[in-house]
Amino acid sequence: MPALKNTLHTWSQAFREASACIGLGLRDTRHAGLWWRSGLLCMAAVLIWLGLYIYFGQFFLELSGMLALVSVTGLLGVGVLDGVGTLASGPATISQMGNITGGLGSLVKSLLSIGQIALALLALATFFYVLVFIVGAISTARLPLRSLLLGRAREVVARRYPAWQPPADLSAVVSKPSWGKRILLLLSLLIPVWAMFVLIAWLLAWNVRLVYGAAADGVLDGEQRQALSRLQGPAIFALGLMLCLLMLVPVLNLLLPAVLCTSVCHLQRRGWRKAVPVKE
């Protein structure tokens, strides 16, 4: 029970910290032209991928269909979807041919299974068609992120913490993960359902970690950045999740690149203060 209580407290604090950083980040997007640069960057990325989908539409349709086919094959392999029933079990026997009612029932069941697989293929192909567009647009918008927004965001956020200095013993606050834990994590990816959750968690924190190190350029060295990243692991995941949900809000999603930069800068500076061990 104490361990569960500590875990719940850690994650609740992480989500409070992430929500506070997003609020502070939204406030700071008003400065240094961050809001209009972010909006133009998002619209340019969307227009680029709309053009790619128009000129290379057949390629993206085939890619989505191939991904859907691979996914359905995997679902059939793990038993999430039923097979095609008796149509795939070979020719009918004499006793089965004599039982017309049973034969019709088997035929209907097989047709329903085929329809289920067809619907799954169509749904997954549509999902991958949209997903490739979203991932492509986000990746394109991320390319000029450091040169266009991150430097300005770092300067704006630094004004909020004028008297702050990073602690000299930051690397001693959090212990490095052992190789045993890393190997166990890699082996756990062989478990299908668990691997899906690990992949989702990694993708949610991916955008944040891509700018996390660059946001501390000139202030923290590599070892300090790694220690701070480990310290703020739950908050980084929470921030990535909340930024992902922010993509669903119209108009505000145009500010997402700027909010990403400013909120990460706030998270680092607030986390640095918390990383200092208390000395009695």
DSSP per position, 147-178? IIIIHHHHHHHHTT-TT----TTGGGTSPPPP
Tokens of 55: 């000129």
Q: How confident is the model at residue 109 (pLDDT cuts 50, 70, 90)?
A: low
CB-count burial class (<10 Å; 0-12, 13-18, 19+) for 168: exposed
Q: How confident is the model at residue 35 (pLDDT cuts 50, 70, 90)?
A: very high
pLDDT at 187 over 80: no
Up-side HSE of residue 35: CA atoms within 13 Å toward CB?
Answer: 9
Helical residues (DSSP H) of the chain, grouped into ranges: 2-28, 34-55, 57-78, 94-98, 100-142, 145, 151-158, 179-188, 192-212, 222-231, 233-246, 256-275
- In this predicted model, which residue has the larger pLDDT, 194 or 225? 225
CA distances (Å), 69 to each of 74, 127, 137, 252, in order? 9, 12, 24, 35
Per the prediction, the chain carries an average pLDDT of 78
pLDDT at 130 over 80: yes
pLDDT at 182 over 60: yes
Comparing 16-25, 98-107, 198-207, the range with the smallest average pLDDT is: 98-107
Q: How confident is the model at residue 217 (pLDDT cuts 50, 70, 90)?
A: confident
Tokens of 242: 């909340």
Q: How confident is the model at residue 234 (pLDDT cuts 50, 70, 90)?
A: confident
CB-count burial class (<10 Å; 0-12, 13-18, 19+) for 237: buried
pLDDT at 186 over 90: no
pTM of the model: 0.75
Give 241-276 pLDDT, tens digit per residue. Answer: 999 888 888 888 899 999 999 999 999 888 755 444
Residues 29, 205: Cα–Cα separation, whole Å:
21
Mutual angle of helices 233-246 and 256-275, in 10-degree steps: 160
> What pLDDT, on the 0 to 100 scale, is given for residue 30?
92
> What pLDDT, on the 0 to 100 scale, is given for residue 277?
39
As a three-state string, the secondary structure of 176-226 is CCCHHHHHHHHHHCCCHHHHHHHHHHHHHHHHHHHHHCHHHCCCCCHHHHH
- Specify whether the CB–CB gap between 278 and 172 falls below 8 A: no
Q: Given phi > 0 = left and psi -120 to 50 = alpha, else beta, which region is 277?
A: beta
Tokens of 163: 């008297």
Percent residues over pLDDT 90 in the chain = 26
Tokens of 194: 């668990």
- Specify whether the CB–CB gap between 149 and 37 falls below 8 A: yes
> What pLDDT, on the 0 to 100 scale, is given for residue 114?
73
In this structure, what DSSP letter does residue 247 have? Answer: T
Let me know how many helices (H) and strands (E) the chain has, helices first.
Answer: 12, 0
Give 62-97 pLDDT, tens digit per residue. Answer: 998 898 888 777 766 655 555 554 444 444 454 544
Q: Which residues contact 234 (CB under 8 A, 6 or more apart)?
A: 10, 11, 13, 14
- In this predicted model, which residue has the larger pLDDT, 111 or 23? 23
- Specify whether the CB–CB gap between 21 and 239 falls below 8 A: yes
State CA 154 to chain mean position distance: 23
In this structure, what DSSP letter does residue 79 have? Answer: T
